[in-house]
Structure 1
Amino acid sequence: MLIEFRTANCLSFKDMAEFSMLASNDKTNGDNNTFLVNNRRILKSAAVYGANGSGKTNFVQAIDFMRNLVLEEAPIRNCAYKLDRTMKDEPTFFEIIFMKDNIRYRYGFEIDRKSVLSEWLFYVPTTREASLFIREKQNITIGRSFREGRILSDSIKKDKLFLSFVAQLNGASITQSIIEWFEDMSVMSGLDSDLSNTTDMLLEEGKSGKKRKKQVLDILNRFDAQIEDIAIEERYFVPIAIPADLEISDQARAFIASVNALFEKEGGGKKMPPRVIIYRKTYEDGKESGIEEFDLRQQESDGTKKLFALAGSLVQSLETGKTIVVDELESKLHPLVTKEIVKLFNSKISNKKNAQLIFTTHDTNLLQGNHFRRDQIWFTEKDKYGSSHLYSLLEYKPRKDASFQKDYINGRYGAIPYIGDFNSL
């Protein structure tokens, strides 16, 4: 589970931004919205509010940026704050605190445009934090308990994270366990309906595949999707054949050849995104008459596609206790659906493995009805220089019975747009 995340000089965050899933001393909804780990209360969910362009998406992207660097899914590159020219040569800072196999880790690094300037990994084996390694450019100090890194510290490249390097060269190890934690954390955009995670789940064979399909159907139909069944058809690219007797121009032939060559190069074995088929009941004179199939990508609404895209991550997270970070969770979804997704996580019944949901949103309906504790509500706001600031509702010390929705809309907590006079237009 994620406990804290910090970043500085990253995207729109010039100064240090600190986010925490540590619960406060507030007792409100403690049984459902929090869980106990090593005598500390951890939050199951958190929502980040703010005006358009205030930094909500950049908060999610900063987490994803760090994740991609650790997993080596992206090269080290510049993401420094651009609205202050003095910051372009300053390091970008990342640090994350999390639990893996009941052990607390603190890992972070500083980078510039092309290299790692510093890197550190600490853990808490019993009660006190201890160093596993500390890096300053190419100089690495190895802790007593970090044997797996000793023979490798002299061969690290300046543009490679030591954590990732050690994990690649060691099988079952501390670093490999940490890499798995980053792999398990899902970072998603609610604006894009990427179906791949859910389709990959449904393509699993045997009992596992059947179980996953039932779980996905249960999730979808809990949100009133009215789906009887789902089928996944794997598809493969078939090169475009030109009949010998077909008269077409040389330019057309060259274009078709280039398309075929592109699929050969990028298709990875000529495999294409699978076709997702949704089955629904049909009726005649008010009576059930059969089943009709629909192509999810071609014939279903954006909302249904969004639900399908989310379903796989929701199932995996709730089943295994993983962390999901979603930008614009409510996009394309009815407010009641968004509310139900949050309730899945804020529940000791449906969330027995203590999965976490962190998301950005504009849905102020969630600020009423005691869905969130005060420590679960966060805001982003830009100052007059364009720098984003991240802060918790706790900083305003509102009463427990305060109307969070009303006070937020009225600007009491900031993080709202300043609307100008449109009459002049």
Structure 2
Amino acid sequence: MLIKFIFSNYKSFRDETVLDLSASKITECVDHLFDVGIGRVLPTIAIYGGNASGKSNIYQAFEYMSQYVVNSFKFGGDDDSRQKSEFDYMKPTPFLFDTKSKEKESSFEVYFADVNNESVKLYQYGFTVNSQGIMREWLNRKSKTARTYKRIFYRDSETLDLTGISTKYHKNLEISLEQEVLISSLGAKLKIPKLKFIRDWFLKNEFADFGDPAESFFMSRFLPTGFVNSKEIQDNVVKFFSTFDDSIKGFHIEKVLSSDSDKKEEHYTIDAIHSMIDSNETAKIPLHLESDGTLKMFALYPVLQNVLERGSVLFVDELNARLHPLLVKSFIDTFLNSELNPNRAQLVFTTHDTSQLSANIFRRDEIYFTQKDKQGISHLYSLSNCVDEDGVKIRKDESFEKNYLNGKYKGIPCINNSPITDISENK
């Protein structure tokens, strides 16, 4: 369970930026909260902001951290150009609009909880990285009753402290560790339990970027696990679809035989089955010809099922794209419903859909905004920390949507006169 994500000097975010999922001491929507024995945690975070304000960079920062943890065991190697090129691809993008930040490392850190029945352990894990590789990396852990974190490992350019890792693994780590490689990633590859646990926590989280047309296209063709062979899973997808479109009654799946004997990939054609309006017969429509909204919900189904089953985190960029606001609300409500979400999965998403910006849907600490200043630096802040012109905190009974669009909370585009308007006025 994600408690806090902190990063700095990544893309448009120069300064330390905190996405905090620990609940603040406000009174609304207490039924939303997860009580994990160490305090209350939020199930959802909605991030609003104008175009180019940095919303997607928050998504990308967490995705970057996750990919580095999962894949960095493959980086490095003085004589392996492939490994070097993989690291080159993963070099961070710092804030480029001042000379100091351009040369400074980027920093990423998470606090998360492992909740197992009554046992709760808290983890603090992070690293800093620049174009040369890892500058620092650390992992600390504590039980819910402990006052302070206990070190598991720490490394920088002069230190390699593996205090909390069994000594039988020290030599392998010391020999194999390279500057581009994270201890967490290498340790998982070496099957060191404490380090594999960290890697696996990142691996369980899911990402869906609907701001990227190519990824959106790919996801809409990514089948739920077991979909081809399991009638039960197909029926579950139909049931999922019925919440917004009850015209789909099932699916017809056929395996396509490849004419190339060297290719071993399996291909299938999938048709959605619809009822005919004037008979008891059915009509088949290729799935790829369904509406963009249906294809997006089809793309969301596998990642939704994965995070609900694992109790992990789903990051979605532009959740509202090509979806009706009521579908978006239904998707959000899944994470707020303890019966549908018994394993306490979490949702963090960016959106422009202001119809969801309501005290009837979100607590104030579940709403974040991004704003880019005149220097090109993005800032992230919670509605629960906003104050009005008199220094008074935002009330829970305000019209969030109206006040946001009126600029009270900032985080909206700065609209200048359109050149088209200027031309028409000069005629």
Query: What TM-score results when the alignment is normalised by the length of structure 2?
Result: 0.85
Following superposition, the deviation at residue 238 of structure 1 comes to: 3.2
1:137-172 per-residue CA deviation (whole Å, 9 max, x = no partner) reads 36310124555642334221111111100110116x
The aligned residue for residue 412 of structure 2 is 416
Structure 1 contact 215–315 (Cα < 8 Å) conserved? no
- Equivalent positions of 1:90-129 (< 5 A) are 90-100=104-114, 101=116, 102-125=120-143, 126-127=145-146, 128-129=148-149
Residue of structure 2 aligned with 1:217, choices 238, 248, 254? 238
Question: What is the CA distance between 1:81 and its match in structure 2?
Answer: 1.2
Whether the 8 Å CA contact 1:148–1:170 is kept in 2: the answer is no
Deviation per CA, 1:376-415: give whole Å up to 9, x if none.
0001110101111111111112111111111111101110
Judged with a 3 Å threshold, the aligned counterparts in structure 2 of structure 1 residues 153 and 202 are, in CA distance, closer, same or farther, namely closer
**Residue aligning to 2:102:** 88
Question: What corresponds to 2:59 in structure 1?
Answer: 60
Q: Secondary structure at the match of 1:98?
A: strand
Aligned counterparts, 1:357-396, within 5 A: 357-368=347-358, 370-396=360-386
1:77 aligns with 2:91: yes
1:200/1:328 CA distance change after superposition, 3 Å: same
Q: CA distance change for structure 1 residues 135 and 237 in 2, over 3 Å: closer, same or farther?
A: farther
Q: Distance in 2 between matches of 1:225 and 1:88?
A: 53
Query: SS at the partner of 1:72?
Result: helix
More displaced 10-residue stretch of structure 1: 404-413 or 227-236: 227-236
> Is the 8 Å Cα contact of residues 237 and 301 (structure 2) preserved in structure 1?
yes
Cα distance in 2, alignment partners of residues 184 and 293 from structure 1: 35
2-side partners of 1:136 and 1:231: how far apart? 56
1:187 aligns with 2:185: no
Cα deviation, residue 91, structure 1: 0.4
Deviation at residue 46 of structure 1 after TM alignment: 0.8
Change (3 A) 1:179 1:231: farther
Contact 1:381 1:415 in 2 (8 A): yes
Counterparts of 2:252 and 2:131, CA distance in 1: 45
Aligned counterpart, 2:389: none
Question: Does the alignment pair 1:27 with 2:27?
Answer: yes
Residues 110 and 337 from structure 1, CA distance in 2 versus in 1: closer, same or farther, beyond 3 angstroms?
Answer: same
Considering only aligned residues, what root-mean-square deviation do their CA atoms show, in Å?
A: 2.2
User: 1:236: Cα distance to partner?
Assistant: 6.1
Q: Distance in 2 between matches of 1:115 and 1:88?
A: 15
Are the aligned partners of 1:45 and 1:357 in contact in 2 as well (CA < 8 Å)? yes
4+ long deviations beyond 4 Å = 145-149, 231-237
Separation in 1 of the partners of 2:283 and 2:233? 22
The 5 A counterparts of 1:161-240 are 161-170=182-191, 173-191=193-211, 192-195=216-219, 199-203=223-227, 209-235=230-256, 237-239=258-260
Point out the more displaced range, 187-196 or 55-64: 187-196
Residues 149-160 of structure 1: pairs in structure 2 closer than 5 A = 149-155=169-175, 156-160=177-181
8 Å Cα contact 1:202-1:232 kept in structure 2: no
1:135 to 152, 155, 165: 155
Which residue in 2 is equivalent to 1:407?
Answer: 403
1:309-324 to 2 correspondences below 5 Å: 309-324=299-314
* Structure 2 residue runs without a partner (length 5+): 73-85, 387-392
Q: Cα offset for 1:211?
A: 3.9
What is the CA distance between 1:200 and its match in structure 2? 4.2
**Cα pair 1:281 1:290 within 8 Å, conserved:** yes
CA distance in 2, matches of 1:227, 1:384: 50
1:51 counterpart residue number: 50
Separation in 2, partners of 1:210, 1:149: 46
CA distance in 1, matches of 2:33, 2:222: 27
Could you tell me which of 282, 294, 314 is aligned with 2:285? 294
* CA 147–211 in structure 1, closer or farther in 2 if over 3 Å, else same: farther
Tell me the percent identity.
Answer: 32
> Aligned-pair distance for 1:193?
4.0
Q: Does 1:9 pair with 2:9?
A: yes
3-state SS of the aligned residue for 1:167?
helix
1 CA distance for matches of 2:62 and 2:232?
A: 31
Please state how far the C-alpha of 1:228 moved relative to its aligned partner.
Answer: 1.0
Higher RCO, 1 vs 2 (CA within 8 Å, ≥6 residues apart): 1
Deviation at 1:213, TM superposition (A): 2.7
Work out whether residues 359 and 397 of structure 2, in 8 Å CA contact, stay in contact via their aligned partners in 1. no
The letter for the 2-side match of 1:362 is H
- Give the aligned residue type for 1:129: Y
Contact 1:368 1:403 in 2 (8 A): yes
In the other structure, the counterpart of 1:398 is 394
Q: Give 2:129's aligned amino acid.
A: I
Q: Which moved more, 1:35-44 or 1:140-149?
A: 140-149
2:311–2:345 contact (8 Å) kept in structure 1: yes
Contact preservation (8 Å) 1:279, 1:292: yes
User: What amino acid maps onto 2:103 in structure 1?
Assistant: D
Matches of 1:148 and 1:325, distance apart in 2: 37
Please tell me whether the aligned partners of residues 216 and 315 of structure 1 are also in contact (alpha carbons under 8 angstroms).
no
- Structure 1 residues 270 and 315: CA distance shift in structure 2, 3 A: same
The 1:109–1:53 alpha-carbon spacing in structure 2 relative to 1, beyond 3 Å, is same
